Structure formats: C-alpha cells, structure tokens
A and B are shown apart, each in its own frame.
Chain A
Amino acid sequence: MLTVEGLNSHYGRAHILHGIGFTASAGSVLVLLGRNGAGKSTTLKSIIGLVRPSSGHIAFDGHEIARAEPHRIARLGLGYVPEERRIFTDLTVWENLEVGRQPPRPGLSPWTPERLYALFPNLGALRTRPGGRMSGGEQQMLTIARTLMGNPRMVLLDEPSEGLAPVIVEQIEAAILALKAEGVGIVLAEQNLHFARRVADTAVVIESGRAVWSGGMAKLQANPAVHARYLAV
C-alpha cells in the first residue's frame, strides 16, 4: 500500500535520509525504530510532503507522491499525526475534529466525532474545551482523532507514546489495534521498544538516516545484537 524506495532528504545542506526504503501494508502496523535523531520523523515528514525529498520514490495506493503537496497526499487517504501534536489551541475539541473532516472513503465506515468519542472517551467529556487547555495525553488523543476524521487508509504516527502516563499509553495502544482491525495501515515512529513490541507486526531499524535492519517484530526480539547496536541507550 505504501512503498518507499531510495528516499533521500536534506535540511538545507545537511543530508538527513540516505536511501531509506520499506513497504507498509493495509491492516498491519510497521514500526520505524531508532534513537533520537536517527531520521524517523524526517522519514514521516518526507512521506506526507512536509519535507521535499531530494530523490527517491514514494508510492501510495498506486500514486507516486514523492513530490506532491501535503493536502493532495492527505486526500489520497494518508493521515499524519505529528510528534508535536499541533493541536489548534484556539479551537474546541469538536472544532479540531471538524477541521480534519474529509468525505467518506469507499469501503471504510466513516469516522464521526461520536465514533471517536467512543474510541477515546476522555475526548467525549471535553467537547467544548479549547485545545490549548488540555493535558498532553488528551492532546495526543485529539491529534490522532483529528487525523482519523479524514478517513485515512493509512496513518503515519510520530512517537504517540512520548511523555505520556501508562494509562494513556494503554488507550492509544488500544486505538492502534482497533484501527488495525478495521484494515487501516499504520506506520509508527518510535524509540519506545516496549510500546512498539505490543502493537507492531514488522519493524524497520533506522540509524543515521539509513534503514539498517528490517523484518518481523518477533525476529527483532530474538536478535539481541540489533538491540545492542542500534536501540540501546
């Protein structure tokens, strides 16, 4: 469903991504693992079009999107949940969700605020609360819910567990598994291996902008050498 090939990206003159490649499919969770600064976020930003790749191919649902604008990519059904959450702080919870609304997509049951309040009960209690007056965990749920309002076929999730209380992380984990069950594909950027282990099917390990290992999650767990070399702090 999403194929990334030979992706190179730069920030100004700094060469960040060196030929990253992987394939993610519908109804499964792929995790990009790596330390801080390895290039996970840049990979996601390059896919959604916020960083323009200097070379390489990105195919989504049969469309080449490597040089497309973010709004076109999003309309193809690729959702992006940024690490910084980027909640519209002046808008209420409900308004934040409405900004994310896009037409229903054939084959997917469309998301509505009501369905999302059921998925994230915390949000249901805060419908009229301005986004700026929410806790970090509530904002994380809102940013995921807002992206889901676009009825994406695949979601790019950038470190959704970062800095959150375990109770909240559990809810987010449940949401990811629920999405997966609906057939939505998920690409997760994480450095939290414990979280990744509970949701991911396959993993790509990134180090200094290169994909250095890839395979099934179970295989990764059985490979202490990869842990020690690329993931241990």
Chain B
Amino acid sequence: MGFLLSQALTALASASSLFLVAAGLTVIFGVTRVVNFAHGSLTMLGAYVAWTILRHLPRDPASFCLGVLATTLALAALGALLEMTLLRRIYRAPELFQLLATFGVVLMVQDATLHIWGPDDLSLPRPPWMRGFVTLLDQRFPQYDLYLIAAGPVVLALLWLVLNRTRWGRLVRAATQDREMVACLGVDQRVLFTTVFALGSALAGLAGALALPDGSANLGIDLSVVTEAFVVVVIGGLGSVPGAYLASLLIAGLQAVGIVVLPKITLVLVFLVMAAVLTVRPNGLLGRPVAAAAVLGAQPPVRPSSPALRWVGVVLLLLFVLAPLVAPSWILAIGTEAAVAVLFAASLHFMMGPGGMPSFGHAAWFGIGAYAAALSATVLAAPMPLALLLAPVAAGVIAGAFGAVVVRLSGIYLAMLTLAFAQIVWAIAFQSVGLTGGDNGILGVWPPGWVASPARFYWLTLALCAGGTLLLRRVLYAPLGYAIRATRDAPARADAIGLPSNAIRVVAVTVSGAAAGLAGAIFTFAHGSAFPTYVSIPRSVDALLMVLLGGVGTMTGPIIGALAYTGLSDLLLRATELWRFVLGAAIVALVLLFPAGLAGAFAGRHGDA
C-alpha cells in the first residue's frame, strides 16, 4: 500500500514537471500557431540560469523562491526578445519552415550554452531544508517532490485565472481561435504575441529551475524535454492547457506503472498510448481541430525533367561511375556519403513532396535500416546482400505500421509525431544495451571481401542509391504516384473517385521508409558500425535541409540539395568548432530570407526542372 502511494506521488511529481514545460509550449502554439522547437532549449537555459543565480544566494527557502522567480523573469525577457527578433518575422511562413527556424535556435543555444557554462553537468548541493523526507504509510518521500506535486495544479489554476479572469487572457483565448478577427477589433497582435511568448518562456524557465534540485543543468535537457513536451501537448490537444495537464498525468502515471511492470517498455508504452489517443481523438484529449495551414505552401505539380536536364543527369552519373579510376579513396568516401545522402533525401522528398506528409523524424527509418542491417550481419550472421535486403523490409514494415496510425492526422501533428517516434527509436537504440550496445553501438559490420575495396564498395553504393532514387522517381510517375499526389491535393475528391486515400498514404510512407532504410543500411556497411546518432534529431534535420535546400517541387531538388549539403557540411565541420552555432544561424537566416521557402523563392526561375 505504502509502495503504491509512493509510486503515485512520484508520478504526480513528474506530471507536474512535464506539465510546466508542456503548458508553455501549448500556450505559445495556441496563439501563434508556431510549434516552438526551442522550447526545450528555454527550459535548459532556465536550469543553467537558475544554477548561476542560486549559487550566489543564501540557501534558505525564501532565497530559493527568489532565485526561481528571478530565473522565470529572465526567461520571460529572453522569450520576448526571441519573439521580437525572430518569430515575429516567420508567422506567415509555412509550418515546416517555422519548425526548422526554431530548430536553428536550438543549435545556436546549444553551442552558446556550451561556450558559457562548459560541457560538465552542473548540479547544486541540496540545502538541508530540501533534503527532508516525509513518512507516509512507512514510506519515506522527499519533501521537495511534494512541493513539485503542488506546483503543477497551482500553475494550472493560475493560468486558468489569468486566461479566464483578465482582459489579456480573454484576448489570448479569442486569438487562439481567430487572431484575424481579434485584429479587426483593434487589438495589436504583436503585443499579444510577444507577451504570450514571454509567458510561455517564463513557464519553460520555471520548469528548468524547479527541476534543478532533482537533477542537474546539462546539455541534453533541450531535446529530451522538448520531445516529452511534444508528446504531452499532442495527447492533450494542441493549444489546450487543461489538456496538457491531463496528458501529463496520463504519461507520468503510465511511466510509474510501466517501470514497475515492464521497465524496458515505458517509452514504447508512451508511444502506444499516444497512438491510441490520436486514433480515438485525432485532435488530442481536449483539442479542437487545427485549421489546416500550409505545411509547405502550395506546390506546383511535379513535372518530369526536361531532356536537357536528363542528359546532365546521365553525364553526372557517368562521372560518378568513372570517379574511382582517378579519384583518391578519401574522395570516394565523400562520394559514398553523398550517394547515401541523395537516397535519404529522395526518400524524405517522396513522403513530403508528392505525399504531402511532413516528417520531422525521418532518421527513424534510416536508423531502423541501419540497425536492421547491423543486427542481421552480427546476430543472424546474414551475408551482406541479405542484410541489405532485410533492412529496407524492416524499415518499410515499421514505417507502414506507423503510417497506418498517423495518416489521418493533419500536417503539424504528423510532423510532431514523426519526431516523437524517431526519438523513441533513438531511446530504444540507446537503452537496449544488450542488443544494440547502447551508446557504444554495434561495431565490425564491414562489407565482405568481394566489395571491401573502396572503389568496389563505392560502386555498389552508387548502384544501390542511384537505383533506389530512380525507382522512387519511377513510382512517382506511375499510376500509384498520381494517386499519391491526388490524395495530397484533394483527399475528398480522391475518395470520391474511389481511391482508398488512407491506404495510399500508408503505401507512400512505407515506400519512403523502405528507401530511407536502405540508405541507413548502406551507411552502416560504409562505416562498419551502427550508433544511436543515426536516429538522432540532427540527422532528421539534415534530410529536411537537403530537401528544402533543393526545393520540394521537383525530383531533382533533393538530389541537388543532398549533394550541396554534404559538401557544405563537410567544409563547415572542418572550418569551425562552433559548427552547430553557424549551422543554426544559417538555418535561421535562410528561413528569414525566404519565408515562403526556398522552393518558393526559385519556383519562378526553374520552372519545370
């Protein structure tokens, strides 16, 4: 009995922590419609700022509260600054670009934090008053966690009061529904948006500060926190604060039960619950339908390349084929990377462009392919050709199963769910040390003798990647490809002429996942290993950048984007230690300069490329 109680209290405490982060995210989304990827970074900064402030304060409860308050205010100011300098300029950009821009901020904050506070985890020794325990039914329970438990409902109640009992709150609720109408009634949206963003950031800061005594300020907070917050916000319903609290309780409760019953399955459990909730309520527990906004903006039809361009392609491919005759092996290594990148980008493009389904976690399929290949080669002792066959099959099957759950969702839910799914795959790879070796990865997955030489492996890679990409192109212009595009552009009409649009979308996700899986498998053999980083968020973003760089409207886009991006990032990595900061700044700059998307910016010029 006492054990159950202490589990329940632990769950309530972690529900509070989850809710504090998610509440800020959901309030910001409700009004601005921006999914703020950098919300976790604000939480992380909250932890670091709190560490710096609290270190210089006396260690009594009043000073602690003062320090937390100061952190909250500091983050509010920072959030307001972020809104005024960056977000304000991208409210009209397609959702995917907004997500990408805020990811640029994530990268910049990471490097800045590393630069200011250093790489070590920073924790504060708990003051005596925090170390106390309460004995409940013979179980000792940390006093601080009781405060945390209270913090969730208190913040929920305060938010409710502010949103329902003040003019500002009424304006926010009205703007959540129809910000244009609010403007027509004489309300300056800019002030509203900046203050909303400041409030959301303050909540993130509060969450970071309050989590500090139980853990540490470290560089991993940003992505881990934002993924959890995405899950909570999606389950609760985008924009709904009470929904976020309900979802936090649900997730935390499940984790508490899961840890007791099946410790290994908690992450999967979370995802299954999310899938179940969204199947029954596609807008989350308390959410309402989000107006279908442009994920990428309107796309012109994808046309086949002109004959001239095809010849350029043939010549280019020929050059690639002949390269080993002259090029040294390090060039071939970059060539292998580039070929894999092309297939990976083309697979994402297939899902995002013609399929119209944004994916912010495409690395999931890449990683599943990589691990499937590595595990077949090591555990099953399968020969490489079989491993290369099993990998795309595994990635495709899992992608299809995932697709079956999510295809009915609108763009922004889809983007967040793909990301969450990729994070879960990452966590599984990271945690299942017995099978995947965890952080140490799976090593020694080298190609067999007959393709071991750099030139031969390069040729094999080229054949598979070029073949895979051409196959994707073939599907695009086959009746299936037309059906996929029809369901993207006019789902209702596609249904009306008898196309099973959901099934077609599942097929599109499957094909895309299988192609990404093949890319991952080749990558594994090229490097002789598989690591959790193959599934990390930065890899998903790599693919997105390649596709968006090259343009979504054409099949050549992702190819050019992949080649350009591989070359550029290689240069960047060599040139500076602050490559994350530079990359982040470059992403932000790109979105600011081309808020309609790069493809949109050049659409007029390259016509039917």
Docked Cα-Cα span, A69 to B189, in Å, equals 10
**B174 at interface (Cβ–Cβ under 8 A)?**
yes
Docked Cα-Cα span, A101 to B174, in Å, equals 13
**B187 at interface (Cβ–Cβ under 8 A)?**
yes
Contact of A100 with B185 at beta-carbon distance under 8 Å, contacts A91-B170, A95-B170 already known: yes
Q: Do B183 and A91 touch across chains, with their CB atoms under 8 A apart?
A: no
Smallest Cβ-Cβ distance to A152: which chain B residue: B186
Q: Do B170 and A86 touch across chains, with their CB atoms under 8 A apart?
A: no
**B56 at interface (Cβ–Cβ under 8 A)?**
no
Fill in one digit per residue for A71-92: 1 if any B CB lies within 8 Å of its CB, else 0.
1001100001010001011110
Docked Cα-Cα span, A99 to B167, in Å, equals 7
Contacts of B86 on A, CB cut-off 8 Å? none
Q: Do A70 and B180 touch across chains, with their CB atoms under 8 A apart?
A: yes
**A50 at interface (Cβ–Cβ under 8 A)?**
yes
Contacts of B541 on A, CB cut-off 8 Å? none
**B439 at interface (Cβ–Cβ under 8 A)?**
no
Q: Do A90 and B180 touch across chains, with their CB atoms under 8 A apart?
A: no
Q: Do A80 and B186 touch across chains, with their CB atoms under 8 A apart?
A: no
Q: How large is the interface on B (under 10, 10 to 19, 20 to 34, 35 or more residues)?
A: 10 to 19
Docked Cα-Cα span, A69 to B178, in Å, equals 16
Contacts of B189 on A, CB cut-off 8 Å? 71
Docked Cα-Cα span, A75 to B189, in Å, equals 13
Give the Cβ gap from B31 to chain A, nearest Cβ, in Å. Answer: 13
Contacts of B177 on A, CB cut-off 8 Å? 88-90
Give the Cβ gap from B186 to chain A, nearest Cβ, in Å. Answer: 4
Q: Do B186 and A88 touch across chains, with their CB atoms under 8 A apart?
A: no
Contact of B184 among A82, A91, A95 (CB under 8 A): A82
Contacts of B176 on A, CB cut-off 8 Å? 90
Q: Do B184 and A69 touch across chains, with their CB atoms under 8 A apart?
A: no
Contacts of B167 on A, CB cut-off 8 Å? 98, 101
Q: List residues of B (148-183) whose CB comes within 8 Å of A's CBs.
A: 167, 170-171, 173-174, 176-178, 180-183
Give the Cβ gap from B334 to chain A, nearest Cβ, in Å. Answer: 43
Q: Do B184 and A74 touch across chains, with their CB atoms under 8 A apart?
A: yes
Contacts of A95 on B, CB cut-off 8 Å? 170, 173-174
Contacts of B186 on A, CB cut-off 8 Å? 71, 74-75, 100, 102, 150
Q: Do A71 and B174 touch across chains, with their CB atoms under 8 A apart?
A: no
Contact of A98 with B178 at beta-carbon distance under 8 Å, contacts A69-B183, A80-B184, A147-B185 already known: no
Q: List residues of A (96-114) whose CB comes within 8 Å of B's CBs.
A: 96, 98-102
Docked Cα-Cα span, A163 to B174, in Å, equals 25
Docked Cα-Cα span, A8 to B186, in Å, equals 24
Contacts of A147 on B, CB cut-off 8 Å? 185
Docked Cα-Cα span, A201 to B176, in Å, equals 39
Contacts of B187 on A, CB cut-off 8 Å? 71, 99
Docked Cα-Cα span, A69 to B182, in Å, equals 12
Contacts of A80 on B, CB cut-off 8 Å? 184
Contact of B188 among A71, A82, A100 (CB under 8 A): A71
Q: Do A74 and B185 touch across chains, with their CB atoms under 8 A apart?
A: yes
Q: Do A70 and B171 touch across chains, with their CB atoms under 8 A apart?
A: no
**A48 at interface (Cβ–Cβ under 8 A)?**
yes
Q: List residues of B (198-245) whose CB comes within 8 Å of A's CBs.
A: none
Contacts of A48 on B, CB cut-off 8 Å? 184
Give the Cβ gap from B169 to chain A, nearest Cβ, in Å. Answer: 10
Q: Do A99 and B178 touch across chains, with their CB atoms under 8 A apart?
A: no
Give the Cβ gap from A12 to chain B, nearest Cβ, in Å. Answer: 9
Q: Do B185 and A146 touch across chains, with their CB atoms under 8 A apart?
A: yes
**21 A-B contacts (beta carbon < 8 Å):** A70-B180, A71-B183, A71-B185, A71-B188, A74-B185, A75-B186, A86-B178, A86-B181, A88-B174, A88-B177, A90-B176, A91-B174, A95-B173, A95-B174, A98-B167, A98-B170, A99-B182, A99-B185, A102-B186, A150-B185, A150-B186
**Residue ranges of A at the interface with B (Cβ–Cβ < 8 Å):** 48, 50, 69-71, 74-75, 80, 82, 86, 88-91, 95-96, 98-102, 146-147, 149-150
Q: Which 4 residue pairs across A and B have the least CB separation, nearest first?
A: A74-B186, A70-B183, A86-B181, A88-B174
